[in-house]
Amino acid sequence: MDNDNNFRGAPPAPHLQTIFPLTTFDDSYNEDAVMNKDHVGGLFFLLIGVWVFSLSIKLPIGKLAEPGPALFPLSLSILLSITGILIFVSSKGKQKNDWRMELRKLAKPLAIILLTLAFIIFMGRLGYLVTSFLYLFSLFFLVCRFRLFFAASLSGILAAGSWYLFGNILGIPLPLGPWSL
Amino acid sequence: MEVFGNLISGFQTALSLQNIYLCLIGCLWGSMVGVLPGIGPLAGIALLIPVTYGLEVTGAIIMLAGIYYGAMYGGSTTSILMNIPGESASIVTCLDGYQMTRKGRAGAALFIAAWGSWVGGTLSVVGIMFLAPILANVAMKFGPAEMFALLLIAFFLLGSLGTGSFIKTMAMVIFGLLLGTVGMDSLTGTLRFTFGIQDLYDGIGFVPVAMGAFGLGEILSATEENMVREVYKPRLRELFPNRMELRASWAPILRGSGIGFLIGLLPGSAHILSSFVSYITEKRLARRPEEFGTGRIEGVAGPETANNAATGGAMIPFLALGIPTGPAIAVMMIALLIHGVRPGPLFISEQPQIFWGLIASMYIGNIILVALNLPLVGLFVSLLRIPFRVLFPVILLICLIGTYSINLSSFELLVLLGSGILGYLFRKLHYDLAPFILALIIGPTLEETFRQSLMRSGGSFSIFWERPIAFTFIGVSFLLLIWNIYRSVWAGEKVAQTDGS
């Protein structure tokens, strides 16, 4: 299947192998950029910490003899904000990342995210069988760039097979669509 | 003597036809998920949880445990044949295993990996047999102060065992603890951070978060780059090592067993860490360390033994203390809770037939795995020939169904998606996910035991130093904190000096 008779567009080129969990990202750098990845991470944790703090102060803190539900999240939000600041500050002097290059890599992951969201939304309305077929077909045709007939055939087989395996053999009550499928 | 008596009754349970069949299914499925990159024991166990609903609890845990250690056996196949680790614990095996394949010694590497896995797995089961009951007896004396202090050690150990910097790992741990506060407070019934969403009243489900972060997140990362693989298929008659390779393997296998078992007791990425430590140890002890990375059998024997021995070590805190030490074990814990069984200090004394049945099945499972993995190498290689572009949509669908099957909730699918996005972003920003997931699991218990301790003492913190076990644990945890800070600062200075020179 890898010799691309069913593959549209340019054949895949040998690239980096990802190794879970130490995924080796080929970081690219750009000195004109403002931030590096640690800046972004630090800022993320700081914002989350501040937000959770603002929510937690509305909860009852209680007394030491009867600690309330606010105590733990308040303490953690403060700690998270501090670690966020430390990460942000410690990234000073490190190389700045090339964010344009990073954004270019987002196309396929973004497509997968949107298709998965559509699957979740429509599964209850159209039923598992139809939704899984459309989901797989979209992934094979749009993301993996297989030819139409191949993508449709493979999606049909896998959707029907998974419906039979999980719905009938494993007994998972999968959602039914308007045609009881 | 009591131990052997219990073991015999465990074998009586495990040797029933149904339990052997379930052990076989678990081991085979585990080997397959171990072989396939992108789907790990976490997803493999979560997917079979619905199958366990109709099973008796002993059979259910036997099957799920089979998946867990089966995945460690299977992970080495892709590392050796393709230079792609099927499991994170098999990363190190790529270094020398694939080089052995290039030299035409793939069969020997596979054989030694399977053999070492059997030895490590079996010896670690012996360890569980003797240590778990002792630890459970000690833990029965624990009150909330002792449990809190023990979890504090786990908290700081998570920080030291992460693969990134200490401060980044701690940020992930704190983030995980914070996420664990979502839902109804167990002590007061107050709703926290639910925003009126009823599905959040019970908190954020651990399984969708773990499947999202590890499963979907990994796939999103992998689709950024195209993957082209060469797969070597060894013939069955090539599967045996020569005398020199056998002689060179036995010492690393024994050392790997000890290293893996001890590291497995610690929470965190025990399988990954044990295989790395074993590799470094073998390299340090070798007469010609410069040959490591060129196809040394010791570089396969030690790490593969260690990661299997770590499965046994990891089961001890889980079974004896109720503390899951890794994401896959945490999913097993959820499966047990669904069946109304709670691992912990009382588990062994109140449910001995389940505990000893599980121990006996692990002996049986290790034999099944070593007998099956080598003849089935051809089948596994066929699986690997499936292009990733065909495989990942199937894996995605399996993750979605697996998550949906637990509570039949579409909301949990949204949690899976959100966690997948977070997992993908964290990978891009070079953050370790394992500490985050483990903190999510231990967070609620950490908070509950802390507040219960204060309630018992009337608000006085003296409860933590007046009780000797709690005081000792807290002392250890603060030493760990100081050590981590020192290491972090020292590593930072070293980098600065290197940059300067």
Partners of residue B39 on adjacent β-strands: none
Nearest chain B residue to A48 by CA: give it.
B175
Q: Which pLDDT score, from 0 to 100, does residue A100 have?
A: 66
Q: What percent of chain A has pLDDT over 90?
A: 49
The pLDDT tens digits of the residues spanning B319-378 come to 888 888 777 787 778 778 777 888 887 888 888 888 888 888 888 888 888 887 777 777
Of B91, B175, B181, the CB nearest to A45: B175
If one counts the domains in chain A, the total is 2
Rounded to an integer, what distance in angstroms lies between the CA atom of residue B213 and that of residue A138? 22
Residue A180 lies in a domain: no
Please tell me whether residues A108 and A76 are part of one structural domain: no
Question: Which residue, among B236, B247, B309, has the nearest Cα to B112 in the 3D structure?
Answer: B247
CB-based contact, A134 to chain B, within 8 Å = no
Please tell me whether residues A63 and A120 are part of one structural domain: no
The answer to whether B437 touches B210, Cβ cutoff 8 Å, is: yes
Q: Which pLDDT score, from 0 to 100, does residue B238 have?
A: 61
Residue A28 lies in a domain: no
Tell me: pLDDT of B403 over 80. Answer: yes
Residue A23 lies in a domain: no
Query: Average pLDDT for residues B414-429, to the nearest whole number?
Result: 92
Query: Average pLDDT for residues A116-126, to the nearest whole number?
Result: 94
Question: Which chain A residues are within 8 Å of B193, Cβ to Cβ?
Answer: 52, 55, 73
Number of A to B CB contacts under 8 A, please give it.
Answer: 203
Of B88, B397, B450, the CB nearest to A162: B397
Query: Average pLDDT for residues B183-193, to the nearest whole number?
Result: 91
Q: Which pLDDT score, from 0 to 100, does residue B347 have?
A: 84
Query: Average pLDDT for residues B430-450, to the nearest whole number?
Result: 84
The pLDDT tens digits of the residues spanning B125-165 come to 888 888 888 877 777 778 888 888 888 877 776 666 555 67
Where do the domains of chain B lie? Answer: 2-231+247-500
Q: How far is B129 from chain A (nearest CA, A)?
A: 32
Q: Which pLDDT score, from 0 to 100, does residue B311 have?
A: 85
Q: Which pLDDT score, from 0 to 100, does residue B93 have?
A: 85
Partners of residue B184 on adjacent β-strands: B191
Judged by average pLDDT, the poorest of A122-126, A133-137, B339-343 is B339-343
Residue A110 lies in a domain: yes
Whether residue A15 and residue B226 make contact (CB cut-off 8 A), yes or no, is yes
Question: Which chain B residues are within 8 Å of A162, Cβ to Cβ?
Answer: 397-398, 401
Whether residue A15 and residue B225 make contact (CB cut-off 8 A), yes or no, is yes
Specify the higher pLDDT residue, B180 or A32: B180
Judged by average pLDDT, the poorest of B215-229, B240-254, B367-381 is B215-229
Q: What is the mean pLDDT of chain B?
A: 82
Tell me: pLDDT of B217 over 80. Answer: yes
Q: Which residue has the tokens 């940059």?
A: B499
Whether residue B163 and residue A84 make contact (CB cut-off 8 A), yes or no, is no
Whether residue A45 and residue B171 make contact (CB cut-off 8 A), yes or no, is yes
Tell me: pLDDT of A19 over 50. Answer: no
Whether residue B174 and residue A83 make contact (CB cut-off 8 A), yes or no, is yes
The pLDDT tens digits of the residues spanning B194-210 come to 999 998 998 898 778 87
What is the SS3 assignment for A66?
A: strand
Q: How far is B199 from chain A (nearest CA, A)?
A: 15
Whether residue A12 and residue B396 make contact (CB cut-off 8 A), yes or no, is no
Question: Which chain B residues are within 8 Å of A20, Cβ to Cβ?
Answer: 37-38, 40, 85, 88, 214, 218
Q: Is B425 exposed, middle or buried (0-12, 13-18, 19+ CB in 10 A)?
A: middle
What is the SS3 assignment for B183?
A: strand
Residue A64 lies in a domain: yes
Specify the higher pLDDT residue, B28 or B388: B28
Whether residue A65 and residue B216 make contact (CB cut-off 8 A), yes or no, is no
Place B422 in a pLDDT band, splitting at 50, 70 and 90: very high
Whether residue B397 and residue A132 make contact (CB cut-off 8 A), yes or no, is yes
Residue A29 lies in a domain: no
Whether residue B429 and residue A172 make contact (CB cut-off 8 A), yes or no, is no
Of B396, B405, B429, the CB nearest to A40: B429
Whether residue B427 and residue A21 make contact (CB cut-off 8 A), yes or no, is yes
The pLDDT tens digits of the residues spanning B467-486 come to 888 898 889 888 878 877 77
Mutate to test the interface with A, among B35, B88, B390 (most CBs of A within 10 A): B390
Nearest chain B residue to A51 by CA: give it.
B193
Query: Average pLDDT for residues B427-453, to the nearest whole number?
Result: 85
Place A58 in a pLDDT band, splitting at 50, 70 and 90: very high
Residue A9 lies in a domain: no
b or e along B136-147 (b: 16 or more beta carbons within 10 Å of the residue's beta carbon)?
Answer: beebeebebbbb
Please tell me whether residues A73 and A113 are part of one structural domain: no
Nearest chain B residue to A1 by CA: give it.
B387
Question: Which chain B residues are within 8 Å of A166, Cβ to Cβ?
Answer: 401, 405
Q: What percent of chain B has pLDDT over 90?
A: 15
Specify the higher pLDDT residue, B224 or B470: B470
Whether residue B400 and residue A119 make contact (CB cut-off 8 A), yes or no, is yes
Judged by average pLDDT, the poorest of A136-150, B57-71, B322-336, B410-424 is B322-336
DSSP count for chain B of H helices, then E strands: 22, 2
Q: Which pLDDT score, from 0 to 100, does residue B499 have?
A: 46
Q: Which pLDDT score, from 0 to 100, does residue B223 have?
A: 83
Please tell me whether residues A81 and A116 are part of one structural domain: no
Whether residue B428 and residue A102 make contact (CB cut-off 8 A), yes or no, is yes
Residue numbers of the domain that contains A48? 37-97
Up-side HSE of residue B14: CA atoms within 13 Å toward CB? Answer: 26
Of A12, A40, A170, the CB nearest to B228: A12
Q: Which pLDDT score, from 0 to 100, does residue B159 have?
A: 65
For residue A26, give the amino acid letter: D
Place A96 in a pLDDT band, splitting at 50, 70 and 90: low
Question: Which chain A residues are within 8 Å of B51, Cβ to Cβ?
Answer: 170
Sequence-separated (6 or more) residues with CB below 8 Å from residue B294: B96, B99
A 21-40 residues with CB below 8 A of B?
21-23, 25, 37-38, 40
Question: Which chain B residues are within 8 Å of A123, Cβ to Cβ?
Answer: 410, 413
Please tell me whether residues A90 and A65 are part of one structural domain: yes
A 102-121 residues with CB below 8 A of B?
102, 105, 108-109, 112-113, 116-117, 119-120
Judged by average pLDDT, the poorest of A26-30, A70-74, B415-419, B437-441 is A26-30
Q: Which residue has the tokens 């590799």?
A: B279
Please tell me whether residues A111 and A165 are part of one structural domain: yes
Does this model's pTM top 0.90? My answer is no
Q: Which pLDDT score, from 0 to 100, does residue B79 have?
A: 81
Place B268 in a pLDDT band, splitting at 50, 70 and 90: low
Whether residue A19 and residue B91 make contact (CB cut-off 8 A), yes or no, is yes
Rounded to an integer, what distance in angstroms lies between the CA atom of residue A72 and that of residue B188? 13
Residue A14 lies in a domain: no
The answer to whether B90 touches B77, Cβ cutoff 8 Å, is: no
Whether residue A20 and residue B193 make contact (CB cut-off 8 A), yes or no, is no
Question: Which residue, among B107, B84, B104, has the nearest Cα to B95 in the 3D structure?
Answer: B84
Q: Which pLDDT score, from 0 to 100, does residue A120 have?
A: 96
Q: Which pLDDT score, from 0 to 100, does residue A12 have?
A: 36
Q: Which pLDDT score, from 0 to 100, does residue B263 have?
A: 84
Question: Which chain A residues are within 8 Å of B185, Cβ to Cβ?
Answer: 69
Mutate to test the interface with A, among B389, B430, B457, B493 (most CBs of A within 10 A): B389
Rounded to an integer, what distance in angstroms lies between the CA atom of residue A20 and that of residue B38? 8
Sequence-separated (6 or more) residues with CB below 8 Å from residue A56: A70, A73, A74, A77, B192
Q: Which pLDDT score, from 0 to 100, does residue A130 have?
A: 93
Please tell me whether residues A67 and A41 are part of one structural domain: yes
Please tell me whether residues A43 and A91 are part of one structural domain: yes
The pLDDT tens digits of the residues spanning B304-320 come to 999 889 888 888 888 88
Query: Average pLDDT for residues A29-57, to the nearest whole number?
Result: 84
ipTM beyond 0.90? no
What is the SS3 assignment for B184?
A: strand
Nearest chain A residue to B219 by CA: give it.
A109
Sequence-separated (6 or more) residues with CB below 8 Å from residue B398: A162, B39, B43, B47
Sequence-separated (6 or more) residues with CB below 8 Å from residue B363: B11, B122, B125
Tell me: pLDDT of B177 over 60. Answer: yes
Place B487 in a pLDDT band, splitting at 50, 70 and 90: confident
Specify the higher pLDDT residue, B348 or B231: B348
Judged by average pLDDT, the poorest of B63-67, B194-198, B225-229, B250-254 is B225-229
Mean pLDDT is highest, among A131-135, B2-6, B245-249, B326-330, for A131-135
CA dihedral A69, A71, A73, A75 (to 10 degrees): 180
Q: Which pLDDT score, from 0 to 100, does residue B427 have?
A: 85
